[in-house]
């Protein structure tokens, strides 16, 4: 009986061996294939990653993009009832860094920057009741300056004010 | 038999008379660059077919292909695509969210977004003129707004 069981188990093992080997080979192949696909998709993702700005933007442009990102975040916070915090959003002295167009550095630009800074300070010291007005006043200062100096970003800035709330 | 031959000839003539407007899948070269949202090169319409497709509509979502005539020399924040008749269509980028390389003129662009007829203000027209490197006299000569066909792209392939 014992011999019979041993015989059967040996036979079963022998007959299964090719299958096991094939399964092992298949696993190995599919692993290699998966690795190849993953590598190819990584390569193509690297090759095709969209570019945001290929022109070495000037520091003022970069700073203003950061300001726009901050405004998005402040806006989202205000809509959830969170008063903006100057530690989280410190004032960026954009008027001290190099602009794309040096021609903008005229008295009116610095006056606009002063008005913006004033509005920003009020926003950072606002209470809950006034925060929407203070925020909108800050954005209005951005719009006012961009209408005169660089109208391209207005498409984005015009979406920032908080309107239509009761 | 005679009738079916007649129908066949008629169908053949109708199909020949139609202008080709089938969107095509464009080949993308290995050195193509992508800007904004990653877009694909399928369902692309030639820029010269846009007017016909728009008809009376003032706005249409579409993917277009055309040669780049000019790019904003300050920041790369707009570009002009040239039509066959020599006129151009200005392309701006959604939410000022991405930019073209300033040396991209002469390449071919595939742009995805919204073509629309809208009025461009004097201030904007003057700004575009300044960006294009026009003289202050030329800029000051712009005194009336212009109703024009423009394009706002959310993704661009340049090659």
CB contact under 8 A, B34 and A151: no
Say if residue A28 is in the same domain as residue A110: no
Q: What is the pLDDT of residue B134?
A: 87
Say if residue A77 is in the same domain as residue A149: yes
Residue A69 tokens read as 């990102």
- Closest partner residue to A50 (CB to CB) among B30, B36, B123 is B36
Q: Which letter, b or e, does each residue of B143-152 get, where b requires 16 or more Cβ atoms within 10 Å of its Cβ?
A: eeeeeebbbb
Render pLDDT for A95-151 as a digit per residue (tens, 0 to 9). 999 999 999 999 999 999 999 999 999 999 999 999 999 999 999 999 999 999 998
Name the A residues in 4-43 with CB < 8 Å from any B CB.
none
pTM of the model: 0.74
Q: What is the pLDDT of residue B17?
A: 45
More confident residue, A87 or A11: A87
Say if residue A2 is in the same domain as residue A22: yes
Q: Average pLDDT of A84-94?
A: 96
Q: What is the pLDDT of residue A47?
A: 47
Per-residue pLDDT for B16 more than 50? no
**Domain ranges for chain B:** 23-158
Q: What is the ipTM of this complex?
A: 0.75
CB B96 within 8 A of CB A153: yes
Say if residue A89 is in the same domain as residue A146: yes
Superfamily of B23-158 according to CATH:
Nucleic acid-binding proteins (2.40.50.140)
In chain A, whose CA is at the least distance from the CA of B73?
Answer: A55
Q: What is the pLDDT of residue B3?
A: 61
CB contact under 8 A, B33 and A57: no
CA contacts within 13 A on the Cβ side of A166: 0
Q: Which domain holds residue A65?
A: 59-157
Work out the number of other CB atoms within 10 angstroms of the CB of residue B93.
25
Contacts of B159 (CB under 8 A, 6+ apart): B28, B29, B31, B32, B33, B107, B108, B110
Say if residue A65 is in the same domain as residue A40: no
Per-residue pLDDT for B27 more than 90? no
């Amino acid at each position: 009986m014992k011999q019979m069981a041993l015989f059967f188990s040996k036979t079963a093992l022998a007959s299964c061996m090719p299958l096991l080997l094939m399964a092992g080979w298949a696993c190995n192949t599919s692993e290699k294939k998966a690795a190849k696909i993953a590598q190819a998709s990584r390569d193509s993702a690297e090759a095709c990653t969209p570019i945001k700005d290929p022109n070495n933007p000037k520091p003022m442009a970069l700073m203003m993009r950061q300001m726009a990102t901050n405004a998005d975040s402040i806006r989202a916070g205000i809509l959830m009832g969170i008063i903006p915090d100057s530690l989280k959003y410190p004032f960026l002295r954009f008027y001290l860094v190099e602009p794309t167009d040096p021609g903008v550095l005229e008295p009116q630009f610095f006056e606009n920057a002063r008005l913006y800074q004033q509005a920003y300070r009020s926003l950072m010291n606002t209470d809950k009741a006034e925060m929407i007005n203070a925020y909108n006043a800050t954005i209005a200062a951005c719009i006012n300056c961009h209408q005169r100096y660089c109208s391209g970003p207005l498409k984005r800035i015009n979406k920032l004010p908080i309107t239509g709330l009761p | 038999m005679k009738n079916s031959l007649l129908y066949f000839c008629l169908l053949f003539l109708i199909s020949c008379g139609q202008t080709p407007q089938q969107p095509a899948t464009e080949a993308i070269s290995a050195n193509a660059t992508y800007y904004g949202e990653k877009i694909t090169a399928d369902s692309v319409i030639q820029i010269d077919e846009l007017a016909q497709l728009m008809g009376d509509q003032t706005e249409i979502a579409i993917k277009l292909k055309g040669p780049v005539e000019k790019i904003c020399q300050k920041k790369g924040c707009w570009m002009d695509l040239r039509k066959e008749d020599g006129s151009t269509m200005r392309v701006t980028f959604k939410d000022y969210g991405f930019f073209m390389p300033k040396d991209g003129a002469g390449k071919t662009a595939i742009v995805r977004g919204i073509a629309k007829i809208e009025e461009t203000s004097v201030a904007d027209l003057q700004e575009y003129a300044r960006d294009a490197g026009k003289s202050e006299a030329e800029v000051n000569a712009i005194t009336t707004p212009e109703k024009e066909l423009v394009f706002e792209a959310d993704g661009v392939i340049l090659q």
